Amino acid sequence: MPPTAASARTADTHCPYCALQCAQTLTASEEGPTGVTVTGRQFPTNRGGMCQKGWTSPTLLRAPDRLTTPLVRDAHGTLVPATWDEALALVADRLAALQAAHGAGSVAVFGGGGLTNEKAYALGKFARTVLRTPFIDYNGRFCMSSAAAAANRSLGVDRGLPFPLADLGGAGAVLLLGSNLAETMPPAVQHLAGVRAAGGLVVVDPRRSATADLTHEGGGVHVQPVPGTDLALLLGLAHLVLADGLADADYLARRTSGLDDVRRSLASWWPERTEQVTGVPVATLRQVAHLLAAASPVHGGAGAYVLTGRGVEQSTQGTDTVTAAITLSLLLGLPGRVGSGYGAITGQGNGQGGREHGQKSDQLPGYRSIEDEAARAHVAGVWGVDPASLPRSGVPAVELLHRLGTADGPRALLVHGSNLLVSAPDADRVRDRLAALDLLVVCDFLPSETALLADVVLPVTQWAEEEGTMTSLEGRVIRRRRLLAPPPGVRSELDVLADLAARLGSSVPFPTDPAVVFDELARASAGGRADYSGLSHARLDAEPDLFWPCPAVPDGAAHPGTPRLFLDRFGHPDGLAQLVPVDHRGPSDDLRPDAPVWLVTGRVLAHYQSGAQTRRVPDLVRTSPGPYVEIHPLLADLLGVGDGDTVRLTTGRGQGFAPARVTDVVRPDTVFLPFHWAGPGSANRLTTDATDPVSGMPEFKVCAVDVTRWDRPVPVGPAEAGELLEAR
């Protein structure tokens, strides 16, 4: 029965999950198990559709284990309820004592790519003005850092998609590398309908994923390289574009620099060598290169795009791989033209905005470098502090985690919006580092595995209970609107940070009204790459289709925002894109006798990130109840593994256990394990924490593994359910 007018309240908002940020309308009523219903709302990205996660999102509002009171670990090692005053007093006293004894760097902060722009901004401001610690980073380091580094050095600006997603609809060819859109962002697939029908969709993935299956319509191409060789594949394609006379010579002369160096670096990637490294036949390489070229503007085509995702970015050569993808797109003359371009598909809900305004270890609001003196002076002026008081750059996430609890590293960690025990690489090592801390404080709305390891857990609001803004994968700044008051005892992180700042004796103001925080963020971003100074909550309510940069205009007129970047110039001072030579090195963890199979990891349709939210939604759990290992029939036969048998996966970090799914969607030399679960099937207990030297991105996607059938009971270790270690 629909709610009556008297009982219904509605809010137009956006899905709490990925960066597609599907528009939805929430309605509160007396009906239904959660008291909230959801409908898809017309919006350029989702066009009224949502995936099963969006349709079931209200379930999170009534999760039976929702955190509603602060928890403090007592002398017996048990988390027990406490008042807010008790919990915040304990945190403030412990932080102050640690910093007095060991310096500002004894406290670290770890943020999340799901925080609103306002909360991400306030968290960075808190770390740098109240704690004055250089040690802040966030889980977006695990998401977009390689694509960001590559875009900054090649194009001069990092915005995931520098064009609206809907632009893909008119393309004649799309090269999609390392992204399984059909499962991670299903509503986005409708934007590929035209290119699928034209036979121009090319999907690069070692698995025959749901997205790769889309190439079967209309004659598209699924390219299935050896895991970890995407960079070599791109170099081979770029070689062919030059060697076969497919490049846009006029565009390259007018809009780029560095062609001669790149031409020399590509000379050694002839097709036969590329085939030898990647396993992709020469005929397929030529087919893809010529398909992209035929759709490119220089050849009179409908338009072409090169898109990258985590599958090629989460690598020790991720920055170079994305650089090669950008180089390929520049050789074809794509970026900066309507209907063509390069873009990176952001994963987390606010992965774009979360890195623009202060959570990243080396950045200030507006996507400014914390080492830039002018940037420091500007932001310090907005905050009302001496620029000299601001710390310098910290360290990327993996290095920060390595330092926790060491003699000269941080002794306390504040975690906001991240489930490190499941989402970080080499997760057992992370568990040990968290256990070595003097103080672990987690803000969350559900008892994640990381929260259950904490000394203090602070219950905070979730998406339908708060106002704010998010920035989608396109750079579109959108409004998150409140439908419900939070449960009694739950506070916003803006309130928590303001209260802690006061208790720690800071004179820096921390407003708690999200609209006021956004206005301050806008001033702090003014003049930066990600300039939000022409935006406000009120304007975004009236004009819900605004993209950054959107600067304040001196004469008082409203800047229209920038849906498409690079139409006139790139972000470097000379206005040119820079062609950067790179070369293939291969994965850090190579095959060897005791680990002769590739392990690749990824997502499934029903779950999101560490699963802390989706594993609490019964409909999603029924769809995908637990981890599994995809294994090719040839490999399964060789190892004596049948469908449903438990297999043990062993890497240099540890071992995991999950049932086998015997299927030909994977290569015979490769197994696939999704990463949404804790416990024996946790993928990140196996992954390497080797990182890209430029971006700090861990190599989540590929490592060497030994696979064996396992007929004994599965070992249960201390990481299960975040149990407290004896060391704590």
Specify if 587 maps to a domain. Answer: no
The per-residue pLDDT for 33 is 67
Shared domain for 33 and 103, answered yes or no, is no
The burial class, CB within 10 Å (0-12 / 13-18 / 19+), for 388 is exposed
Shared domain for 461 and 313, answered yes or no, is no
Domain boundary, last residue among 344, 369, 403:
344
Shared domain for 399 and 389, answered yes or no, is yes
What range defines the domain where residue 703 resides? 597-722
- When divided into structural domains, the chain yields a total of 4
Specify if 578 maps to a domain. Answer: no
Joined together, the tokens standing for residue 480 give: 């998150």
Shared domain for 104 and 175, answered yes or no, is no
Per-residue pLDDT reduced to its tens digit, 273-289: 999 999 999 999 999 99
The per-residue pLDDT for 281 is 98
Shared domain for 136 and 159, answered yes or no, is no
The per-residue pLDDT for 32 is 61
The per-residue pLDDT for 716 is 76
Count of beta carbons in the 10 Å neighbourhood of residue 338: 13
SS (HEC) of 270-319? CHHHHHHHHCCCHHHHHHHHHHHHHHCHHHCCCCEEEEECHHHHCCCCHH
Please state, in angstroms and rounded to a whole number, the distance separating the CA atoms of residues 315 and 149.
13
Specify if 417 maps to a domain. Answer: yes
Joined together, the tokens standing for residue 593 give: 């006798």
DSSP-assigned beta bridge partners for residue 59: none
Place of tokens 């929260």: 451
**Cβ atoms of residues 427 and 682 within 8 Å:** yes
Shared domain for 75 and 150, answered yes or no, is no
Please state, in angstroms and rounded to a whole number, the distance separating the CA atoms of residues 496 and 583.
47
The per-residue pLDDT for 5 is 41
Shared domain for 330 and 280, answered yes or no, is yes
Low-confidence ranges of the chain (pLDDT < 70): 1-8, 31-33, 717-728
Specify if 580 maps to a domain. Answer: no
CATH number for the domain spanning 382: value is 3.40.50.740
State the amino acid at position 596 in one-letter form.
P
Shared domain for 371 and 258, answered yes or no, is no
The per-residue pLDDT for 556 is 75
Helix (H) or strand (E) holding 73: strand 71-73
CATH number for the domain spanning 617: value is 2.40.40.20
Beta strands (DSSP E) in 124-263 are: 136-138, 173-177, 201-204, 221-223, 256-257
Shared domain for 218 and 338, answered yes or no, is yes
SS (HEC) of 400-460? HHHHCCCCCCCCEEEEECCCHHHHCCCHHHHHHHHHCCCEEEEEECCCCCCHHHCCEEEEE
For strand 577-578 and strand 256-257, is the pairing parallel, antiparallel, or unpaired? parallel
Please state, in angstroms and rounded to a whole number, the distance separating the CA atoms of residues 405 and 395.
15
Shared domain for 247 and 302, answered yes or no, is yes
CATH number for the domain spanning 53: value is 2.20.25.90
DSSP 691: B
Can you give the length of the chain in residues?
Answer: 728
- Rounded to two decimals, the pTM is 0.96
Specify if 537 maps to a domain. Answer: no
Shared domain for 314 and 178, answered yes or no, is yes
The per-residue pLDDT for 34 is 74
Shared domain for 305 and 393, answered yes or no, is no
Please state, in angstroms and rounded to a whole number, the distance separating the CA atoms of residues 130 and 442.
18
Helix (H) or strand (E) holding 253: helix 249-255
The per-residue pLDDT for 717 is 60
Specify if 573 maps to a domain. Answer: no
Specify if 532 maps to a domain. Answer: no
| Dihedral angle, C-alpha 521, 527, 532, 536, nearest 10 ° | 70
